[in-house]
A and B are shown apart, each in its own frame.
Chain A
Amino acid sequence: MKKPKFNEINKGVRKVDGLGLAVGQSRFTDDYEMPGMLHAKLLRSPYAHARIKAIRTGKARALPGVVAVFTYKDVDRIPITTAGQGYPEPSPYDEFILDNKVRFVGDKVALVAAETVEIAEEALKLIEVDYEVLPAVLDPRKAMQANAPIIHDEKDCYIDIPVPYEPEKNRVARVDASVGDVKEGVKQAAMTVEDEFENQTASHSALEPHCALSWLDDNGRLVIISTTQVPFHARRIVSRALKIPVRRIRIIKPRLGGGFGGKQEILLEPYVGLITLRTGRPVKMRLTRREVFISARVRHNMITKVQVAAKKDGELTAIDLYALSNTGPYGTHGLTVASNVGTRTLPMFKCPNLHFSSDVVYTNLSVSGAYRGYGGTQGILATAIAMDDLAERLGMDPMDFYLKNVIRGGTEVPILKELGEGPVIGQPHIGSCELAACIKAGAEAIGWKKKRGRPGGGRFRRGMGMSIMMQGSSIPYIDMASAFIKINDDGSFNLLMGATEIGQGSDTVLAQIAAEVLTVATDKIIVYSSDTDLTPFDVGAYASSTTYLSGMAVKDAAEKVKRQILEVGAHLLQAPMARVHLSKGRVIGPDKKSVTLQQIGTHALYEEDQFQISASASRISHESPPPFAAHFVEVEVDRATGKVRILEYVQAVDCGTLINPVLARGQALGALINGISYALVERYIYSSRGECLNPNYGYYNIFCTRDIPKITTIFVPSYEPTGPFGAKSVGEICISGPLPAISNAIYDAVDVRLHRTPFTPDKVLEAVQARERG
């Protein structure tokens, strides 16, 4: 393919907000303060499942410095979901900002506003609660049993879309989709592998804890600065929760300290909003790290079952995948994460018989939500280990097995019609796909053929493993993004977007897209995101949609602005529109005469028939072009302690055009290290009562600088025709590879297959010992 020529695209432009962050100038939510600001704290449940029989707040209210105390008696009972998704949300309205029932250890019981954090914390201790402790569901496998305690026995929870929702069975959702006939496929097969897997709950661990600050503006409107990935959804959900119209709410997202899906939840905004509306005073609420661990969202723990079948020559004939998803006590993202187990896995294979099903169940454990990877991580864990196993049983190198079975570009994918989140119009297809090239490039870089199957002897054994994965880019026909661009008299532009910079670099990437169209340097684009009063709508930063979808909206807006610029330029040059063009920040006429953007901006704003050169544009997506990746890892396993050390990791990625290669590499690396850390060390440790025992970085480990292995990231050349300048997404995909790649490598090293994550040394050792015992 011929590489298109770009000016600002495919260039490692410096992150537009980078220097402000590096010099400590940038302000995050917690860095804002208002005069007379109160501080809020939530009293949290010590029980996994209990009813509040009585709650007495007199002593807390009497404490000097306490301004307000709220319990469920003081707020309207309105079922909401905290899931910051499009409307109507595919998540049930099963949560109340305060309730007479608590459903996990850490659930909210009462809300306190006080002059200082310290006083608010003191006040929490003075609230007296009598609980009726109820039996709890602490194992998702038991959630649907006949005698299981019902977590949502209230009558007012419901889901706003036409899908099955059965709280009386602790079932949040069901998914069932198939193409072909799996049974038939299995019959045709020479070899079938069937297995069960389980991934663990994990914390997003964005370095910035959740925080929100609210106050009333000059006209009594509620303003909330918040650590949110989804300002517009936050506005809508606050409106519902507090029964005030959307027009009375403004949500501002300042710099945001990492999200990964954890801030796609409306966790604090309704509480600060409530206090400000009731007291008239500004209030801030910032979670402690402990609170983030116990009360913010986690990755869905799932038990996945998979059956894969293939003919003798390795041709896949059937894949049957099932996921039992533990969504915790609230069903936020329950249905959609589960369906993504299928949509992020099955389309990769040229296999005529596919079946995916899932049950999403309530438990009294941590509340699950969106987490980078979003179901793909869970689906790939199961399929990539099962396929490694299947390839081996067929006497094939898994690499060759994959090359035989993975799709190429321009393929129709009927399973997506069955599994799609939104309406699917026409036959879903995948345009660009360089997955096979990723497999070849990655294998070459790590020396796959040379190193695999040579564990060596003694205490330390080496092994190689691989996995393949895909993600999407936006949710077709559901996600919408828009952008507004205007010119200034110096020829610079303001780009106002609802698209949410959360650290991933969207402000920069989208500015580059505008700059490319307007033929200026990226630093001529002044980016502002996001503020529900000032920036046009965007669903926010999730579903790997920003570069692809918001990128197209920005591109369209820039094209419109460009047209207006050309019109003014043509007028100034006294040339017909058809004979002028924009190049390097100048409108150039037929006789090589030109005018600068500064002249055009100044002319339009001051000189003649004045008007604001500006445009907005909106886009929805018609498809969700997947990025693809192949991961390869070499590990060393200590057979005496079970410790797994990563020696080398290679990832080869197809994400279309790299709008910004430096930032794209950062996305791939960040997701990968998070994935490796998740695969090896991260986990929640629960007591027998369902309490998280390790809500801190001392006991919940995440990788530090000294833990990272040698990594090679390869971007395979690729061009997605529907994306802005050929781009697809790159934010999430690489988090999903490490679980199965490392498991497969452990197998290559010590001949044991690990199905349950994380691969902590105690688990690895147990498996090694079990194998030795025979």
Chain B
Amino acid sequence: MRLAKLQRVSYPETVAEAIQILSDKKRGAVALSGGVSFVFSPLQSVEELVSLSRLPLNYIKRKNGGLRIGATTPIADLVTSRAVKNYGDGILWETAHRIGSTLNRNLITVGGNLVQPFIWSDLSTVVLALRAGIKIQGKKSRDLSAEEFFTRLPRQFLKRGELVTEIVFPPFPKNYRAAYEKFTLTENDFALLKVAVVLARSGRVCRDVIIVVGGATILPQRVLSAEEILRKKIGSQILVNEASEVAAEEIKVSRDIRCSEEYKRDLCRALVRGILERILLDQKVPEWKLF
């Protein structure tokens, strides 16, 4: 029988209680947030499921121009949040809005989407681009930068009893611009590729930039060499072309049954270039691409 060893489901009401249950080696417990990834690949040996649904982690808070988002917040709540829509040129909202379908977004949570890197885990790309911080609570609490968090698969470094509890999005200064694009076959499809770019501008000069490509590999990638080309330069079409070319060459691409590696590089070039033209060169895009 499937999940033959499953004995009970607990519903802790505090993070401390959840951590305590999850830390107990003997209980063989697994945490469930939205539960979607568990249904897809259940750990058959699990003895106890720890539903995080009653933890006080379902919130979106504005703080000093940034955002703090609780880990069990459903993606759907990001989509209906004015704070999210107004933050970071709307790229967090745009990302959330394009994760799966409305039905999926009601189940998938922010924490789950980051911790379980599935093909639909779109949040990681913007979380990395927006330089968010990830709060992990366990016996000891620790805060990781997105950069640190996405160096490995979360399940490789999250210790027993550790929970991602909050994502902290830093203030998004006035001179910053950001854009996100997800490329799919149908509107509710998994991404073939997604790109998020955040940059700091003064006039036409690109002060700083982060370019993140998701969907080429299971974890999001920063394309440092492309960033380097742009950093502290005056934006121009030649520069943008060069940066997108380098990004396309540079990214690692895992095998995907849906298209060739070359096509993913083509997409990377097109998406990076399109975004930079928009937010660095202020070029117009077709109306339907705006949200």
Contacts and interface: CB of A to CB of B under 8 A. Distances in A.
Contact of B186 (A641, A681, A685): A681
Nearest to A116: B1
B119 interface: yes
A760 B185 CA distance: 8
Nearest to B98: A706
Interface in B185-217: 185-190
B186 to A, nearest CB: 4
Interface residues of A, number: 31
B155 interface: no
Interface in B2-37: 2
A698 interface: yes
Nearest to A766: B263
B45 to A, nearest CB: 17
B22 to A, nearest CB: 28
Contacts of A701: 185-186, 189
Given A460-B286, A685-B258, A765 B188 contact: no
Nearest to B271: A641
Contact of A681 (B185, B260, B270): B185
A425 interface: no
Contacts of B286: 460, 636
A699 B257 contact: yes
A693 interface: yes
A765 B266 contact: yes
B257 A693 contact: yes
Interface string B208-231: 000000000000000000000000
Contacts of B258: 685, 694, 699
A22 interface: no
User: Which has the most chain B C-beta neighbours within 10 Å: A460, A642, A680, A698?
Assistant: A698
B185 A704 contact: no
Contacts of A699: 190, 257-258
User: Which has the most chain B C-beta neighbours within 10 Å: A641, A685, A694, A702?
Assistant: A641
A763 to B, nearest CB: 9
A156 interface: no
Contact of A118 (B2, B185, B186, B266): B2
Main secondary structure of the interface of B (DSSP, over half): loop
A703 interface: yes
Nearest to B267: A641
Interface in A637-653: 638, 640-643, 645
Contacts of A769: 266
Contact of B188 (A642, A643, A680, A704): A704
A400 B47 CA distance: 72
B120 to A, nearest CB: 8
Contact of B1 (A118, A640, A702, A704): A118
Contact of B263 (A685, A694, A707, A765): A765
B257 A704 contact: no
A13 B188 CA distance: 34
A762 interface: yes
Interface string B255-270: 0011110010011011
Given A640-B274, A641-B267, A680-B185, A698 B190 contact: yes
Interface in A116-167: 118, 122
A760 to B, nearest CB: 7
A645 B274 CA distance: 17
Nearest to A640: B270
A761 interface: yes
Interface string A241-271: 0000000000000000000000000000000
B6 to A, nearest CB: 14
Contacts of B187: 704, 706-707
Given A701-B189, A704-B186, A694 B257 contact: yes
B183 interface: yes
Nearest to B120: A698
B101 interface: yes
B105 interface: no
A642 B192 CA distance: 13
Interface string A560-574: 000000000000000
Contacts of A685: 257-258
Contacts of B269: 640
B273 interface: yes
Given A701-B186, A703-B186, A641 B266 contact: yes
A762 B186 contact: no
Contacts of A703: 186
Contacts of A707: 186-187
Contacts of A460: 286
Interface in B265-291: 266-267, 269-271, 273-274, 286, 288
Contacts of A704: 101, 186-188
Interface string A271-289: 0000000000000000000
Contacts of B2: 118
A460 B2 CA distance: 51
Contacts of A118: 1-2
A587 B289 CA distance: 64
A707 B263 CA distance: 22
Interface in A172-193: none
Contacts of B260: 762
A366 to B, nearest CB: 16
Interface string A622-660: 000000000000001010111101000000000000000
A122 B4 CA distance: 13
Nearest to B119: A698
B145 to A, nearest CB: 31
A387 B274 CA distance: 36
A118 B186 CA distance: 34
A765 B265 CA distance: 12
Interface string A450-471: 0000000001100000000000
Contacts of A122: 1
Nearest to A685: B257
Contacts of B190: 698-699
A681 B1 CA distance: 37
B276 to A, nearest CB: 12
B257 A641 contact: no
A18 B271 CA distance: 45
Given A640-B270, A641-B266, A765-B266, A706 B185 contact: no
Contacts of B259: 760, 762
Interface in A691-730: 693-694, 698-699, 701-704, 706-707
Contacts of A766: 263
Nearest to A760: B185
A118 B4 CA distance: 12
A704 B185 CA distance: 11
B36 to A, nearest CB: 12
B263 A762 contact: yes
A643 B266 CA distance: 12
A742 to B, nearest CB: 14
A641 B289 CA distance: 14
B179 to A, nearest CB: 15
A698 B184 CA distance: 11
Contacts of B270: 638, 640-641
Contacts of A638: 270
Contacts of A698: 119, 190
Contacts of B273: 640
Interface in A670-695: 677, 680-681, 685, 693-694
Interface string A756-773: 000011100110010000
A552 B187 CA distance: 43
A408 to B, nearest CB: 40
Q: Which 4 A-B pairs rank lowest in CB-CB distance, beginning with the nearest? A: A640-B270, A706-B187, A762-B263, A681-B185
14 contacts: A118-B1, A640-B269, A640-B270, A642-B266, A694-B257, A698-B190, A699-B190, A701-B185, A704-B101, A704-B188, A706-B187, A706-B188, A760-B259, A765-B266
Given A118-B1, A706-B188, A760-B185, 8 more contacts: A122-B1, A640-B274, A642-B266, A643-B183, A681-B189, A699-B257, A701-B189, A703-B186
